[in-house]
Amino acid sequence: MTSNTSKHLNGLPVAQPGIGELTAAIAEGRSSSRLLLEEAQRAHERHLDLNAIAHVDWPAAQARADRLDALARAGSPLGALHGIPLTIKDLYAVDGMPLAAGSRAQMPSLGASEAVAVARLRAAGALIFAKTNMHEIALGATGENAWTGDVKNPHDPARQAGGSSSGAGVAVATGIGVAGLGSDTGGSVRIPAAFSGVVGFKPSFGAIPLAGALHLSWTCDHAGPLTRSVDDAARLFEVMSGRRTDHGAVPRRPRLAVPAKWLAPRMSHSMGAWFESVLAGLRKDADVIDVEAPELFEASAHYTAIVRAEAAYVHRDALAAGGSGFAPAVLAPLQAGLQVSVANYFDGMRQRDALRAELDAILRDYDALVLPTTGVPAPLRGQTEVQVASGVMSTRDAVLGMTAPYSYVGLPTISLPCGQVDGLPGSLQVVGARDQDAALLALARWLEGLWSSSRGGLQYS
């Protein structure tokens, strides 16, 4: 399992083996952590212009890979991720690596030498070899960054890679490591996963500890993996959360809810047509039913007030010193967060309770909520407005507005690549019931298998 066996489509690796296959190959001496790292280094060199990586020390990573390979040869693997090269978003503390969060501003102290989630990955044998670029302090969904440069879409470098875990999505898509750790406050795992055409899993709120990670909004933040497959996402989730996923089950004919009235005005024509074709394929194997979700219409504004207020508090010392080191596009929403009133903040909390109750009620009767991950395919870099069914909408609302409600209320949500829209990756967002991560992953695995085995009704253009 070396790079000469890899296949590429438009320069991107396809049909790559999963983590289970790779760890087995390492244990049996058919591959090694060093070989996988060398593949990652070659991929990094091929795709330098995409700007996925914030920090990497190849000699140090090679030494670590050699130590892991020695353990494997001795029959003493560390765990479920032994020898697997992983990248980490640059808002997690990692031993021996800098933390800048894509900013030049002074970051608050995290009080930890290494984030808990990262330490758990390392304890399971993962090769932590690089940090990935991100939207500055995670406050944005485009992957554009005035300080570190834009992360570019691997399918079309003129387009956005999504954010804020932009580098993580591009790294997985291009083979710079096998998987990546991101974070998701309003869509920051799912959006870059969608734009890069990989899997992005945002677990239930609190499932993966965030100690040692830079918060953006502590009531909305989640840690989550970006991977090549649902199986890989489940494996990383189990390691970081300590929860099992093998008890998830899929009903013989799942019941899937669609918030159609809320969705209709938010999608571009091509995204709407793609989604209808996805639903037509799903109806062969599942019951797909439109549902009312009126509280969704209020979610975006309240989410924004909460996140900006909490972000301003997280960065209060840097703001009090004048905000030096924040790019203007990030400083403005931080300063707006300082102006959020106590009444507005608590209005957001009350609306969150109402939305949570509404979605919990829907998900008592349905196995999942399904919708596109974003309302439009990846926009051009620098594009601030897009055309959707209801007219012109800000790019932020068309993209982040589709994912934010489910971070806002803390429900487990996964983004699954599924065909193409306007020649770019299409992605289905699947929302599960609270703390039913195993059941959601089982459903996502079922969908992934359905799409790979039943292309007749599930081909999109």
User: What residues are annotated to the active site?
Assistant: 89, 164, 188
Long-range contacts of 25-28 (CB under 8 A, 24+ apart): 25/1, 26/69, 26/72, 26/77, 26/82, 26/83, 27/72, 27/77, 27/82
Instruction: With residue 53 as reference, give the H or E element that holds it.
Output: strand 53-56
Instruction: With residue 372 as reference, give the H or E element that holds it.
Output: strand 368-372
Please state whether beta strands 413-421 and 424-431 pair in parallel, antiparallel, or not at all (unpaired). antiparallel
Task: Give which of 263, 321, 260 is closest to 292, Cα–Cα.
Answer: 260
Helix (H, G, I), strand (E, B) or coil at 368: strand
Q: Say which residue the tokens 């320069």 belong to.
A: 11
Task: Examine residue 164 and say whether the peptide bond preceding it is cis (omega within 30 degrees of 0).
Answer: yes
Task: Characterize 309-342 residue by residue with b for buried, 16 or more Cβ atoms within 10 angstroms of its Cβ, and e for exposed.
Answer: bbbbbbbeebbeeebebbbeebbebbeebeebee
Distance CA 171, CA 179 (A): 8
Environment class of 295 (CB within 10 Å of its CB; exposed 0-12, middle 13-18, buried 19+): buried
Q: If you ran DSSP here, which 8-state letter would residue 243 be given?
A: -
Per the structure block, which two tokens stand in for 265?
A: 């005005």
Helix (H, G, I), strand (E, B) or coil at 408: helix
Cα dihedral 10/15/19/25 (nearest 10): -110
Please state whether beta strands 385-388 and 391-394 pair in parallel, antiparallel, or not at all (unpaired). antiparallel
Instruction: With residue 166 as reference, give the H or E element that holds it.
Output: helix 166-174
State CA 339 to chain mean position distance.
30
CB 265 within 8 A of CB 388: yes
- Side-chain half-sphere CA neighbours of 326 within 13 A: 24
State CA 344 to chain mean position distance.
29
CB 212 within 8 A of CB 114: yes
Distance CA 44, CA 38 (A): 10
Counting DSSP H helices and E strands in the chain, the numbers are 15, 15
